Amino acid sequence: MEALAHDFRLCDSELKELLPSGQQPVFENRVGWARTYLKKAGLLQSTRRGFFSITERGLEVLKSNPAAITTKSLYQFPEFLEFQTRTNKAKKEDTAIDNLDSSTPQELLEHSYQALRQNLAQELLQKVRECSPRFFEKLVVELIVKMGYGGSRKDAGEAIGKSGDEGIDGIIKEDRLGLDTIYIQAKRWEHPVSRPEIQKFAGALQGQRAKKGIFITTSTFSSDAREYADKIDSRIVLIDGERLAQLMIDFAVGTTVVSTYEIKRVDADYFIDE
Concatenating the DSSP letter of every residue in 20-84 gives TTSSSBHHHHHHHHHHHHHHHTTSEEEEETTEEEE-HHHHHHHHT--S---HHHHTTSHHHHHHH
200 Cβ contact list (under 8 Å, min separation 6): 166, 167
Q: Kindly give the pairing relationship between strand 212-217 and strand 181-187.
A: parallel
pLDDT of residue 114: 85
230 within 8 A of 111, measured Cβ to Cβ: no
For residue 253, the SS3 value is: coil
H or E element, residue 217: strand 212-217
Within 10 A of 193 (CB to CB), how many other CB atoms are there?
23
Instruction: Give the bridge partners for 44, in sequence order.
Output: 54
Length of the chain: 274
Separation CA 179–CA 164 (nearest Å): 22
Separation CA 198–CA 185 (nearest Å): 10
Please state at what angle helix 241-250 crosses helix 133-146, rounded to 10 degrees.
50
pLDDT of residue 92: 44
pLDDT of residue 85: 75
Q: In this structure, which amino acid lies at residue 8? A: F
pLDDT of residue 12: 92
Q: Which CATH architecture has domain 133-250?
A: 3-Layer(aba) Sandwich (3.40)
185 within 8 A of 161, measured Cβ to Cβ: no
What are the angstrom distances between the C-alpha of 222 and each of 23, 193, 218, 240?
Answer: 42, 6, 13, 10
pLDDT of residue 185: 87
For residue 221, the SS3 value is: strand
Instruction: Give the bridge partners for 25, in sequence order.
Output: 18
Per-residue pLDDT of the chain (274 residues; tens, 9 = 90+): 899 999 999 999 999 988 777 778 889 888 988 998 899 999 999 887 778 899 999 999 999 999 999 988 999 999 998 887 765 553 444 444 445 455 667 667 877 888 889 889 988 998 999 888 888 888 888 888 888 886 666 666 555 555 455 556 777 777 767 677 888 888 888 899 999 999 999 988 888 888 889 999 999 999 999 999 999 888 999 999 999 999 999 999 999 998 888 888 778 788 877 6
202 within 8 A of 234, measured Cβ to Cβ: yes
Terminal Cα distance for the chain, rounded: 54
pLDDT of residue 156: 62
pLDDT of residue 166: 55
Domain regions of the chain by residue span: 2-130, 133-250
E strand segments, 218-268: 235-239
Phi/psi at 66 (5° precision): -70, 150
pLDDT of residue 93: 40
